[in-house]
Structure 1
Amino acid sequence: MANNFQRREIGKDIYFSRITDSRFKTNGIFIAFLSPLSEEIASENAVVSRYISKLNKKNPTYTSMNNMLSAMYCAKLCGSVSSMGDTQGIIFSINYIDSKYALNGENMDSEAVEVLADCLFNPFAENKKFDENILSLEKQSVIDDIESEINDKQAYASQKAYEIMFRNEPYAFRALGTVEGVKRVTPESAYRAYLRILHHCRIEIICSGTSDFEEVKKKLTSLFTKLPRDEIFSCKTRRSPLKPAPETVEEKMDVTQSKMILGFKTDCDNLSALFVMNEIFGGTPTSKLFENVREKMSLCYNCHSSINWIKGAAFVSCGVEKGNIKKAYSEILNQLKSIQTGDFTEEDVVNAKMYRKNYLKAYNDSLNAIAAWYMSRIYCDSIATPEEWAERTEKVTKEEIIKAANSLKLDTFYVLSSDEEKSEQK
């Protein structure tokens, strides 16, 4: 079912969007503050997102905040950060039931927007600083998330590959920042970061669900337009330049299964063709990487490809035995070469398109997913519905798939292997 999307500017670099879909029994309000992604401020923003979403002056303890959310039929309040290309999104959201399902006739739009407003405009702070004890807990929460990455070796390998592939670019940095950066955050610096977010970030408000959100719009317009809004950050992403020659890096660690990442750069503007090509390459259980590299040749435990369309990049991620690294590397490139030369069937194309269209269709099944969909399209100034992308997918030709495959140029090869001995590479 196509949703009804509307967007308008309600203040200086402040935009209000609504996505209405009567199928839902719940609503979501998502407020994204867009900031340049940088090592200096990423950690501060990550800590602030958690602190001000956990409590405020009206509900100054974790317990009182949780009790209030429980009374709202278990509404879910969240603060987080994420990367969109070279931009960091500081995101606050609340999900709640629609008013027509409230047992006592409560106005749930009013209650939900009031909670967000209290967090954003009335945080738990005194004398221009946040509470030191609460801040310490939230700092540790961010540190725990950063450090947990080392236990997920595939995620760790991906992050290291990004750092190499996008060296000297903002996208090389984690949205959560660094452990050292988080440790440097003080009650005073966190409060200054909070003010910086309010006064200097572009603001995207996205509401999705069955409500008309008129009351939400009125409340947030009134609050945000009172803010002094000068020198708004410019948040743009540029495609990453290809290295003169592919860079190979191997890191040793105590692992039982090696991880390898092949990073490609692309200048392909036909995104629909690029995504269909990716499904044929390694995006589905019927892809060339899965059926050939993993199943027929047994060269890896897992092997899949993905596209980062905002940065113009593609990745192949594998879990592999150390002795098979060289063979797997060569065969992955051979499978890409087969697509580049047109060695794939009409059935491959049909299956890839079907998989891609089903994936796009699923965005409409979740308030969070559809809000994230439009947020990324708004950021890239290419607003279109999932249904419109599905139509473009169906029109992709074999020649366009071949052209998309040929746009992929190897930029980075990263291997995480055991301490025993360095693996044989190219």
Structure 2
Amino acid sequence: MNKQLESKKEPRIKVMPTDKFKTTLVTFKFMAPLDEETMTSRSLLSKLLVRATKKWPTDKAFNRKLSELYGAYVNSFVTKFKDKHVITLTLELVNERYLKHKDPLFDEGLALLKEIIYNPIVEDGKFNETFVQQEKTLLKKKLEAVNDNKSQLAFLKLMENMFGNQPYSYLASGLSENIPKVTPESLYHTYQSMLENDDCAVYVVGNVDTNIVTEKIKNMFNIQPLTQVSHVIQAQHSENELPQTIIEYDDLDQAKLNIGFRFPTYYGRPDYYTFVVFNTMFGGDPSSVLFNEVREKQSLTYSIHSQIDGKNGYMFVLSGVAVEKYELAKETIIDEFKKFQNGEFTEEKLELAKKILISQRNESQDRPKSMVEIAHNQILLPEDLTNGNYGQKIHEVTKEDIINLTQRAILDTVYVLTKEDEAE
């Protein structure tokens, strides 16, 4: 236990040595509490950091530098992680072991990342106005496009009705109405806060030496031990107010029927694996009940699947339905859920779901970015969980586990976006 506590006091620098890939992936994750007021500016900041730096002050100069590093690739994006807002900064470059010219590519790559993180184009306490304006315009277009994507819009509406005005309800990219509030000066304050207050975790995947790489990162970057505590996102309504049904209208060709469930488990709890297996059986795979019964056999939906937020304990069923069929589709989906609660499913289906999940986990080891995400999830656990443990835990899920978990689940919200003139 003491060793475990000691490891928590160390900076989170996780190196995953492997000779599977010809490239090396370096990923920095900056984590701050989810906050409606900062999400938009953090989203803009993530894009500004990889536009240019003081050393390479234009798009052209920056891209030329990447070309010199044998076509290195830099990317930055934002996501939600439990109750955190995360800026992910990645660099992928050729591993120097596979080059004829033994250039110190990894060292140059780290130097580039250091420049990106610590030397953005800031003058007189503000970011470059032209770049800021360009990124604000791009983000505005991206967020406005959500209104044209009815599936995405309906999902956000489901989230809004389940979680109210909590920042968890919004896209990690932020809110369109907050973009005008962001200035070159305020972005500099966001940047300073990221460096001073964010938790930072670093991941490296490639044919590298763990000790050497860890020391280099410690020496070049100011990575502090993780300090923030994660909490589960709470839904908005008490159980006696549920389930709630919301019907809204828009001009669309097919209705969007979305359903949100609460589950009494999340990543880190023993029955989390039951949750994952159930989702695969219910709607998380083409072999699932929702896909085969609701879509294929009964032709009630054009599209349907379920997805989980395993870190917070929620499952969402998302579907596109003919306008006149959404009521029948809703009843059928809920009936299929009740069948699981009653144990009306076969051991064969359960074993198939386990095989699918273990196969997917094994495939993820062939993708560096998936390896990083799996490793990053481990910060929510008291100690790292190996892939061997994952497969074992999935194997151990029983039919009784599925029945027990689904019986304790709560149907929270049914959200329908449909056409007004045919609603009757």
TM-score, normalising length: structure 1: 0.91
Distance 2:78 2:366 in 1: 23
Of 248, 259, 263, the residue aligned with 1:251 is 248
Amino acid at match of 1:334: D
1:108-141 Cα shifts (integer Å, max 9, x gaps): 2101111110011111111111000011111222
Tell me whether 1:201 sits opposite 2:202 in the alignment. no
1:65 CA displacement:
0.9
Partner of 1:234: 228
Q: Look up the SS of the partner of 1:301 in the other structure.
A: strand
Secondary structure of the 2:412 match is: strand
1:181 aligns with 2:191: no
1:69 aligns with 2:61: no
Taking the aligned partners of 2:277 and 2:243, their CA distance within structure 1 comes to 25
Deviates more, 1:375-384 or 1:34-43: 375-384
Describe the shift of the 1:85–1:9 C-alpha distance in structure 2 as closer, same or farther (beyond 3 A).
closer
Counting only pairs closer than 5 Å after superposition, residues 15-414 of structure 1 correspond to structure 2 as 15-212=12-209, 214=211, 216-225=213-222, 234-241=228-235, 243=238, 244-268=241-265, 269=269, 270-381=271-382, 383-414=384-415
Residues in 1 aligned to 2:189 and 2:382: alpha-carbon distance in whole angstroms: 30
SS of structure 1 residue aligned to 2:115: helix
Q: Secondary structure of the equivalent of 1:91?
A: strand
CA deviation after TM superposition for structure 1 residue 216, in Å: 4.4
Instruction: State the 4+ residue runs in structure 1 displaced beyond 6 angstroms.
Output: none
Gaps of 5+ in 1: 1-6
User: Structure 1 residues 144 and 353, CA, compared in 2 at 3 Å: closer, same or farther?
Assistant: same
Q: Compared with structure 1, are the counterparts of its residues 35 and 349 closer, same or farther at alpha carbon in structure 2 (3 Å cutoff)?
A: same
Contact 2:354 2:394 in 1 (8 A): yes
Distance 1:135 1:220 in 2: 29
Partners of 1:36 and 1:235 within 8 A in 2: no
Contact 1:35 1:235 in 2 (8 A): no
Query: What percentage of aligned pairs have identical amino acids?
Result: 28
SS at match of 2:365: helix
- CA distance in structure 2 between the partners assigned to 1:214 and 1:184 by the alignment: 44
Task: Tell me which moved more, 269-278 or 165-174.
Answer: 165-174
**AA at the equivalent of 2:258:** I
Letter aligned with residue 118 of structure 2: F
**Secondary structure, counterpart of 2:384 in structure 1:** coil
CA deviation map 1:368-397 (0-9, x unaligned): 111011112214556313332122111111
Could you list the per-position Cα deviations for residues 190-239 of structure 1 after superposition, in whole angstroms to 9, with x for gaps in the alignment?
Answer: 011000000001111111122125554334323433x9x89x97352224
- Matched to 1:177, the amino acid is G
Mapped partners of 1:213, 1:329: distance in 2: 52
Aligned to 1:3: none
| AA at the equivalent of 2:322 | E
Structure 1 Cα separation of the partners of residues 9 and 205 of structure 2 = 17
**Pairing 1:8-19 to 2, within 5 Å after superposition:** 14-19=11-16
RMSD over equivalenced CA pairs, Å: 2.1
Deviations 1:69-117 (A, max 9, x none): 1221211101111001221001111011111123421112101111110
Amino acid aligned to 2:279: N
Q: What secondary structure, in the 3-state scheme, does the structure 2 residue paired with 1:365 have?
A: coil
Change (3 A) 1:116 1:213: farther
Could you tell me whether the CA contact under 8 Å between 2:54 and 2:121 is conserved in 1? yes
- Can you list the C-alpha shifts for 1:302-352, whole angstroms capped at 9, x where unaligned? 111111111110111111011111100000011011111111112111211
Aligned equivalents of 2:47, 2:7: Cα separation in 1: 28
Secondary structure of residue in 1 paired with 2:161: helix
Structure 1 residues 80 and 262: CA distance shift in structure 2, 3 A: same
Deviations 1:32-85 (A, max 9, x none): 111011110001111111101121011111111111112212111011110012
Distance 1:252 1:204 in 2: 43
1:169 deviation in Å? 3.0
With 404-413 and 39-48 compared, the bigger mean Cα shift is at 404-413
1:314·1:408 contact (CA, 8 Å) conserved in 2?
no
CA contact (8 A) 1:109 1:215 kept: no
- Partner residue of 1:4? none
Q: List gaps (5 residues or longer) in structure 2.
A: 1-5
Quote how far apart the aligned CAs of 1:10 are. 7.9
Aligned residues: 412
Q: Give, as a single letter, the amino acid of the residue that structure 2 aligns with 1:386.
A: N
Q: Does the 8 A contact of 2:323 with 2:422 survive in 1?
A: no
